[in-house]
Amino acid sequence: MAVAMQCPACGVVGQAGAGVGGFRCKACERDIWILNCHRCKKATSIWGSATGSGVVQFRCGNCKARNQVAKQSLRAISAEARRLERAETASRKVAAQRDKMAKSLQAESRSATVERQNAELATTVGSLRTFLVDSLPRSGKFSFQSLKAAPPALAFIAPDPPKIQPPERSSYMPPEPHGVGGLLPGTKHKYQESVTKAEAAFADAQSTFERAQRDWQEQVAAARSSHDSRLAEMQTIAASQNADADELERRFKESDSDAVVEYMSAALAAMEVPYQAPESRMAFTAASKQLVIELELPPFETMPEIREYKYVKSRDEISHSALPATERKRLYASLVAQSALATVNTAFCADPHGTVESIVLNGHVETVDKRTGQDAHPCLVTLRTTRDRFREINLSLVDPAECLKGLQASISKSPAELLPVRPLVEFNMADPRFITEADVLSVLDERPNLMDLSPKDFESLITNLFEKMGLETRLTQASRDGGVDCVAYDTRPIFGGKVVIQAKRYKNTVGVSAVRDLFGTMQNEGATKGILVTTSGYGQASHEFANGKPLELIDGPGLLYLLHEHASIEAKIEVPEDWVDPIAEG
């Protein structure tokens, strides 16, 4: 390592090797030596010429003692200094090359890291942008067969056979005597003794071989028995799983609510989505053949924040550019729309029997309201569509947001800012557990059965419910089909107005004609909204007609939920065996 040193002759500071006993000043071109005084042992500097022979005398700069040194020693010191200087120069070059190579490798490594990060980022963003199209090839692959186990296959691996070879008798027998040796006395006797011993050895070897074969055959039999037992167990498990799948399919065909929810939950769980979100909830109303999905969406914070990574070679660091907020919001809004369409498509494609005729989807997100710091669960998209209407759409070519608008869906104007929309159907209103509980507890509780009420009591119940919900109700006249017809007023400014309400106690599905009549009555009355309530449900045609119109259809579970939630009335719906749906007069 070179150090700065001042020439004692001319005073110019130059570079000298550390620990070197001599150097040459580049300013005055003198040879300089650093020597230790023989008296004080301290270093002092001298200069001069070391040519020729003899000695050089000098006075110590510290103790003033006179010293002398052979010129030959000075030449040796200078030679060693030059050798060390050359070695140090070579070492510096090697170090410089090593540093250059290390920097080059570092730059290559950083560049490769940037390429990998950008590739991962492009894959992530690309999967978010094309989620809907990517899901289409997979949407029709889930079926009841997917729930079944494949025929179990278990290869039998037999134990290795023993390595003992069967003995050959000839290899144990001694050679027969022949020639002159065979004529010697006792030779024949000795030969017979050898044969006897050989026969015994061969018998032992044969016995050992047979015992090894028996042991191996027993091992094979035990392994075969264990294999067959394990295979039978696997076949039993597979048969049980397949029987469960067949039973689930049978119940699904019969519109069993639990079976529909179980199967559809499995179908949606099998979806490949480019995000992580809590499990969605589902409810199925058999009377309406309507599936309500409460889809859990990813929060906005999961959207990528980085547009691109860059390697800055001058600073040897990796930097990045941020994805603009507007682009992040646009990406999130697109993902919300794609998720809604992909989920509905997966559900319809997974139903091979047409059990589900219509789907209501509410897309919620678990988040924290930044304004209050409280947990929030806003609905960002809600839609209702029928199987026939949805089949008309070519999802591979649509713009997701425009497609939802065409389905009369409600979409948040700014999903990233958690601006909510009102769900078309509250999930709890579609939860069939109200009906189930009524069936189970019908003889154990005193809850009123809506089907047993007198027409007057039923009118009072319905008007009381909507008054509790904030409407001013006015009964018009007795319904021609034994239900309730009334006009109500929503007194809220801007959002309020006149509301026509009809309630029908039906056993069977309400036909689309009743929905059309309600719409006609609403227009005749100059109302802003129509509400149809029934103790049963609605068919696909009813939902198709009501879609996009200011009509709200409330089925049996929804009515029970509203009574429980707003009027604190615990009711049930049990249709008497002799019940006949009334027919409205024309």
Q: Which of 415-424, 454-463, 504-513 is least confident?
A: 454-463
Over pLDDT 70: what percentage of the chain? 89
Q: Which residue has the higher pLDDT, 573 or 303?
A: 303
Name the pLDDT band for 526 (thresholds 50, 70, 90): confident
Distance CA 546, CA 512 (A): 9
Name the pLDDT band for 436 (thresholds 50, 70, 90): very low
Residue 110 and residue 52 in contact, taking contact as beta carbons nearer than 8 Å = no
Mean pLDDT of the chain: 84
Name the pLDDT band for 439 (thresholds 50, 70, 90): very low
* pLDDT tens-digit map of 183-238: 677 777 888 888 888 889 889 989 999 999 999 999 999 999 999 999 999 999 99
Look at residue 564 in the predicted model and tell me its pLDDT.
82
Task: Say which residues have a Cβ less than 8 Å from residue 586's Cβ, sequence separation at least 6.
Answer: none
User: Hey, what are 252's tokens?
Assistant: 């699904």
Task: Return contacts of 115-119, CB within 8 angstroms, 24+ apart.
Answer: 117/309, 117/318, 118/308, 118/309
Using the predicted structure, report yes or no on whether residue 157 has a pLDDT greater than 80: yes
User: Hey, what are 131's tokens?
Assistant: 């989620």
Name the pLDDT band for 438 (thresholds 50, 70, 90): very low
Name the pLDDT band for 437 (thresholds 50, 70, 90): very low
Look at residue 345 in the predicted model and tell me its pLDDT.
96
Assign domain 432-566 to its CATH architecture.
3-Layer(aba) Sandwich (3.40)
Name the pLDDT band for 415 (thresholds 50, 70, 90): very high
For the chain, helix, strand, coil in percent to 5 are 45, 20, 35
Q: Which residue has the higher pLDDT, 402 or 187?
A: 402
Look at residue 173 in the predicted model and tell me its pLDDT.
86
Distance CA 406, CA 398 (A): 10
Distance CA 287, CA 514 (A): 16
Q: Output the pTM of the full model.
A: 0.68
Range(s) of the chain covered by CATH 3.40.1350.10:
432-566
Closest among 454, 293, 281, 421 to 358, alpha carbons compared: 293
Cα four-point dihedral sign 510, 512, 515, 520: negative
Look at residue 195 in the predicted model and tell me its pLDDT.
84
Look at residue 5 in the predicted model and tell me its pLDDT.
65
Using the predicted structure, report yes or no on whether residue 442 has a pLDDT greater than 50: no
* pLDDT tens-digit map of 247-267: 999 999 999 999 999 999 999
The one-character DSSP state at 337 is H
b/e sequence 147-164, b meaning 16+ C-beta within 10 Å: bbeeeeeeeeeeeeeeee
* pLDDT tens-digit map of 262-283: 999 999 999 999 888 778 899 9
Look at residue 130 in the predicted model and tell me its pLDDT.
94
Within 10 A of 234 (CB to CB), how many other CB atoms are there? 15
Look at residue 476 in the predicted model and tell me its pLDDT.
65
Distance CA 238, CA 495 (A): 58
Task: Say which residues have a Cβ less than 8 Å from residue 399's Cβ, sequence separation at least 6.
Answer: none
Look at residue 89 in the predicted model and tell me its pLDDT.
85
Using the predicted structure, report yes or no on whether residue 585 has a pLDDT greater than 60: no
- Where are the strands (E) in 207-345, listed by range? 281-285, 290-297, 306-312, 317-322
Q: In what order do the strands lie in the sheet with 22-24?
A: 22-24, 31-36, 43-48
Count, in order, helices (H) and strands (E) of the chain.
14, 21
Distance CA 554, CA 547 (A): 14
Distance CA 239, CA 149 (A): 8
Distance CA 520, CA 122 (A): 53
Name the pLDDT band for 10 (thresholds 50, 70, 90): confident
Look at residue 133 in the predicted model and tell me its pLDDT.
95
Look at residue 19 in the predicted model and tell me its pLDDT.
39
Alpha-helix runs per DSSP H in 130-186:
131-139, 169-172
Distance CA 251, CA 245 (A): 10
Rounded alpha-carbon distances, angstroms, from residue 436 to 253, 405, 408, 472, 509: 19, 36, 32, 32, 18
Average of pLDDT values for 51-67? 78
* pLDDT tens-digit map of 416-425: 988 899 888 8
User: Hey, what are 399's tokens?
Assistant: 């713009």
Over pLDDT 90: what percentage of the chain? 36
Closest among 462, 499, 455, 498 to 480, alpha carbons compared: 455
